[in-house]
Homo-oligomer: A and B are copies of this chain.
Amino acid sequence: MKAREGASPPLLDKERGIKGVRLVNNLNSFRLIQTCPDSKARVGELLTPHGEVPTPVFLPVASLGAIKTLTPEEVKDVGIAMVLANTYHLYLRPGINVIEKIGGLHRFMAWDRAILTDSGGYQVFSLARLRQVSDEGVIFRSHIDGSQHHITPELIIQFQETLGADIIMALDECPAHDDSLEKVNRAMERTHRWAERCRKAQKRRDQALYAIVQGGIFPQLRHQSAEYLTSLDFPGYAIGGLSLGEPKRVTLAMIEETVALLPEDKPRYLMGVGSPEDIIEAVARGCDMFDSALPTRVARNGALFTWQGRYNIRNAAYSQMEQPIVSGCDCYTCRNFSVGYLHHLFGCEELLAYRLATIHNLRFISSLMAKLRGAIGSGTFPHFKDNLLANYQPTDEETRLSQKQRWLKSRFKPVVD
């Protein structure tokens, strides 16, 4: 901060707390280590300029350059190797140029492990207003101040190259889950053309650009999309446009249809999935990477993960409980605080409550991912999965869908096409 008097303070050490990007050829690649003989589950490793990321991996969401409530140190402490940041959000605030000036996204958020930036496609189609989509790109209005912006696949790549994440995403058009086949088909074809243009626009060679398979809930479109995009040979493939309000059996069916056509030796990234039960099912179907705001968002609402299911700490029954949230959990929260204390903090809306809950939920998910990798590695995945799901009571389908739809409704506006 500029002092009113005296000499200017020195700049922050650019390397303080963060490693620089090591420019090594083929640094950004995927290594498949082992596959489960009884399912499509697999363990692997992403090699990135900011460290190795064992898969299956869960990426918490740092939309605006911070995992809500946590410092980078805490995010590391819970065992997170990679986070997702949103190009759309960072483009609007603080602006790509500000992050460039401060030394890129890793430096800006003081995170020295891997980062994946999404392309903003999902946000433009779910959050922004007054969209006009053409082959050229999208004109939209900011959800914050209504200002008008025009993005193209080329610009989105330029933004992501400036941000400097390890993995970047092609711009996609993300239809609603109940759109017609015709509309979904049109969005898919545009997504394909945009993926090619993103590919051509890429200048940096130290970032891995993933394509996004679309096709909604139509198996034939999913096939078409997976076949077309894999023919272009991207270093990784995302499955987009799922978990947007469709029934869970449909989500799982679409994952199967898509994965069947994706290459073995490339990572598969299922976008927007983050509940323990959904992650397990998707891992069984061959997915390697996941991102979702769910574990952190529900934490701030007081919903805490246990191996028996999700519990809400606000429940009066927890007011005098001496135990930690999960017996034996090694997170900072469970090592130090009782359920009664957390209940009290939530009741008073003390900001510390949201942190302690977030730490626990992220540690839970990161432990779950480690357990999944261990089970696949030791050949016990089917047993582990059955056992876990037998004890874990998921939020029931009806509640889940109505919650999801309520949440989406508050964000999702009709696409002006």
Contacts and interface: CB of A to CB of B under 8 A. Distances in A.
Interface in A33-69: 64-69
B336 A17 contact: yes
Contacts of A71: 332, 336, 352, 355-356
Contact of A64 (B72, B93, B313, B350): B350
Contact of A308 (B5, B322, B391): B5
A244 B336 CA distance: 37
Interface stretch (A152-160, A252-260, A341-349, A361-369): A341-349
A77 B344 CA distance: 24
Contacts of A416: none
Nearest to A300: B351
A324 B17 CA distance: 13
A341 B5 contact: no
Contact of A65 (B304, B325, B341, B356): B341
A318 interface: yes
Chain A: interface size category: 35 or more
Contacts of A338: 12, 102, 108
A311 interface: yes
Interface string A306-339: 1111010100011111111111100010011111
A319 B94 contact: yes
A383 interface: no
B10 A323 contact: yes
Contacts of A311: 1
A108 to B, nearest CB: 6
Interface in A101-128: 101-103, 108-110
A24 interface: no
Contacts of A203: none
A323 B2 CA distance: 8
Nearest to A17: B336
Contacts of A395: none
A10 to B, nearest CB: 6
Nearest to A10: B327
Contacts of A4: 308-309, 393
Interface in A88-106: 93-94, 98, 101-103
A286 interface: no
A350 B67 CA distance: 9
Contacts of A103: 322
Interface string A3-22: 11110111110001100000
Given A311-B1, A341-B108, A70 B323 contact: no
A64 B309 contact: no
Contacts of A17: 335-336
6 contacts: A2-B323, A12-B323, A64-B345, A66-B350, A68-B350, A71-B352
Given A4-B308, A72-B336, 12 more contacts: A3-B307, A4-B309, A8-B323, A9-B328, A10-B327, A64-B350, A71-B355, A94-B344, A98-B319, A98-B340, A109-B341, A110-B341
Interface of A: 1-6, 8-12, 16-17, 64-73, 93-94, 98, 101-103, 108-110, 304, 306-309, 311, 313, 317-328, 332, 335-341, 343-345, 347-348, 350-352, 354-356, 391, 393
Which 4 pairs across A and B sit closest by C-beta, in order of nearness?
A: A9-B327, A94-B344, A110-B336, A69-B351
